[in-house]
Structure 1
Amino acid sequence: MNRYLINLSYIGTRFRGIQRKIDKSAGQFQDPHTVQGVIEEALLKLRSVNVPTLKLSSRTDTGVHALHNTVHVDLERPNGKPYDVDRITKQLNRSFERDAQSLRILSTVHVPLTFHARLCAKSRTYLYRLAVLKKEFARDHARQHPHSRFIPIEEHDRCYFLGHPRFDIETFAKVARTFEGVHDFRTFMAVAKGNPRQQEAMHSLRRIDQIVVERGQTMTAAFNREQTEQFYDFWDVRIRGRSFLYRQVRRMVGAWVAAAEGRITDRDVYHMLTVPSQNSWCSNVFVAPAYALYLCRVEYDPVDLAFPSPVPSDDTDGQFSRAAAQPQDGTATHRNDCHVHGW
């Protein structure tokens, strides 16, 4: 048996999230509407001895995109030798292209059996994209209304467009920075319907390493770019941490937007953060939409991806890529196994 780390990206609009949803009672074991289901179905074409089952590093909800997400899979080849990683990448991308899936494999890496895509992750970085209507247009009701204002089609389901005339980016950035560090984020944790495990008390302490609010740019083509930039200021919100709770990022961004628009005060945000409870959630806060959220990077320690000794291969040049999936500079001290961390 050999283990492979798969680096992938996708547009989440047409997927019901990344995690496969199956109905065993109905005898349904495949799910063509999730990222996991599509990849597992494509992996069957490799004809491994075992049935491929992905292990996810980071769950993304319906509509959330990924510039870089990771999974791992164990595959046993009939001859016992490892698969050529380039063959896996090409086979999967060929299948996705044929089926018109908004999904792309970036690379495949042969990794030791001690590696785990979720448990070995050092950090995850999310991007949330905002487009704020400029103040000279925000007081025009026609420009402000979400169903009449100009929104470039290229940014449809890719960016959160805001038209409130009082939106203040300085307030947004100020309250966002207070979320850095270790906090109990129970107020910002959603509970998945039908998941009894999440109904129970769970560990909700998380550390956010960095929150950056900086000017972004539109993804529109040249034809629409001038008009788009005339009306909107684009902002990128980058959030990096080791793990996050269910819908934590979207709920945090929703609170920051509410503060920036004056619907709640800085003190309200402070209360939600320092009095961790579902009862602390302000009713004037709306959860930020999924379509403007991107998982940008999942990082690993190169040590966790490396074999202790050379592994035989049957590819033409006898080499396997063992590069880290977008590793950070420097190498942490060696450890024999990956530490267990929450989502």
Structure 2
Amino acid sequence: MEATWPQGTRILLHLAFDGAAFAGWQVQPGQRTVQGEVEAALSRLLDRPVRVQASGRTDAGVHALHLPAHFDLPRPFQGRALHRGLNALLPEDCLCRRLEPVAPDFHARYDARGKLYRYRILNRPERPLFRRRRVLWEPRPLAVEAMAACLAPLVGRHDFASFCAADADTETTEREVVAARLLRRGDELHLEVAGSGFLKHMVRAIAGTALEVGLGRLPAEAMAAILSARDRSAAGPTARACGLWLVEVTYDPERLEAWRAHPGDE
């Protein structure tokens, strides 16, 4: 017989979603959000109000292959029934891949040790049809080697103010990037950045700046000077949200070290 988890058990959800039709993660009045859909489904399933805390927020249009979030069970419930019931009630563009009980003091946001983001660029003359809301389309030729080279200065602990949204609410703009690289995947370029934490629009600003390099508007060597400027106006534009994917959030320091050597191989 399957075990029943008691009331008060903290549950960690491993969520994935297509962000195209969402106004981001966080609940907003009059907007369709991932948090709103997940909380509505859980509250209906458990017949109690449920509040969910995620590992972080995503902007409107951003996708996630793995976004962890936790909540506390408001009443006893079987684990398998909880998983099946939640997915039955979630909309088709959101999925709970798995769930598990965790320690009572576990926190999806504050215990996270690292995140891996991927920015997908479709680089071909023909515009996308089925991928149009999942990649950034750039039909012009790109200097791929220069784009890859420009990412090197980002690795390490730096002040990333040049890549932070002006309206970001943060105590410090210092962050650590453990790996940054550009991969070719068929007709797509995948710009991957792994780090212990990220600022608002940081990866999209990095992608937008790398695209300026790829289009020949900036030399690859400019990235170091842009980083040192600590001025958002020094960097390139913020790339569109549709190309950004949150690939993984880790709570394991060893996983962060693996990204340092080979980000995004898996």
Q: TM-score range by the shorter chain?
A: 0.7 to 0.9
Question: What is the TM-score of this pair, normalised by structure 2?
Answer: 0.87
Separation in structure 2 between the aligned mates of residue 102 and residue 32 of structure 1, nearest angstrom: 15
Distance in 1 of aligned mates of 2:106 and 2:229? 37
Give the alignment partner of residue 100 of structure 2, picking from 106, 109, 114.
Answer: 109
* SS in structure 2 of the partner of residue 243 of structure 1: coil
Match for residue 42 of structure 1?
41
Larger Cα Rg: Structure 1 or Structure 2? Answer: 1
Q: What does the per-residue CA deviation read over 1:175-194, in whole Å, with 9 as the maximum and x for residues that have no partner?
A: 012211111001110034xx
Query: 1:298 & 1:202 partners in 2: Cα distance?
Result: 22
Match of 1:301 among 240, 245, 252: 252
CA distance in 2, matches of 1:189, 1:328: 26
Residue matched to 2:212: 258
What residue in structure 2 maps to residue 12 of structure 1?
Answer: 19
Q: Which residue of 2 aligns with 1:207?
A: 176
Q: Which stretches in structure 2 are left out of the alignment for 5+ residues? A: 1-7, 258-266
SS in 2 for 1:254: helix
Supply the RMSD in Å over aligned alpha carbons: 2.2
1:159 aligns to 2:159 (yes or no) = no
More strand by share: 2
For 1:47 and 1:66, the matched residues in 2 are separated by 25
Residues 246-265 of structure 1: per-residue CA shift (max 9 Å, x gap): 01000011001101211123
The residue number in structure 2 matching 1:339 is none
**Separation in 2, partners of 1:290, 1:329:** 25
Q: Post-superposition shift, 1:48?
A: 5.4
Deviation at 1:267, TM superposition (A): 4.6
> Could you list the per-position Cα deviations for residues 254-291 of structure 1 after superposition, in whole angstroms to 9, with x for gaps in the alignment?
0011012111233543222012123x424xx2211111
1:299 alignment partner AA: T
Q: Which amino acid aligns with 2:104?
A: L
Sort the Cα spacing of 1:162 and 1:152 in 2 relative to 1 into closer, same or farther, 3 A: closer
TM-score w.r.t. structure 1 length?
0.68
8 Å CA contact 2:10, 2:70 repeated in 1: yes
Q: Does the 8 Å contact 2:204/2:241 carry over to 1?
A: yes
Q: How many residues were matched structurally?
A: 250
Alignment of 1:1-343 (within 5 A): 1-22=8-29, 33-47=32-46, 51-77=49-75, 81=76, 83-96=77-90, 100-133=91-124, 143=125, 150-165=126-141, 167-192=142-167, 198=169, 202-217=171-186, 233-278=187-232, 280-282=233-235, 285-301=236-252, 328=255
Please state how far the C-alpha of 1:328 moved relative to its aligned partner: 3.6
Residue 190 of structure 1 aligns with an amino acid whose one-letter code is A
Secondary structure class of the residue paired with 1:263: coil
Deviation readout 1:307-327 (Å, 9 max, x if unpaired): xxxxxxxxxxxxxxxxxxxx8
**One-letter amino acid of the counterpart of residue 13, structure 2:** I
Tell me the CA shift for residue 20 of structure 1.
Answer: 0.8
Structure 1: stretches of 5+ with no match in the other structure: 23-30, 134-142, 144-149, 218-232, 303-326, 331-343
CA distance in 1, matches of 2:207, 2:216: 14
d(CA) in 2 for partners of 1:102 and 1:46? 18
Tell me how far apart the structure 1 counterparts of residues 84 and 149 of structure 2 sit (CA, whole Å): 45
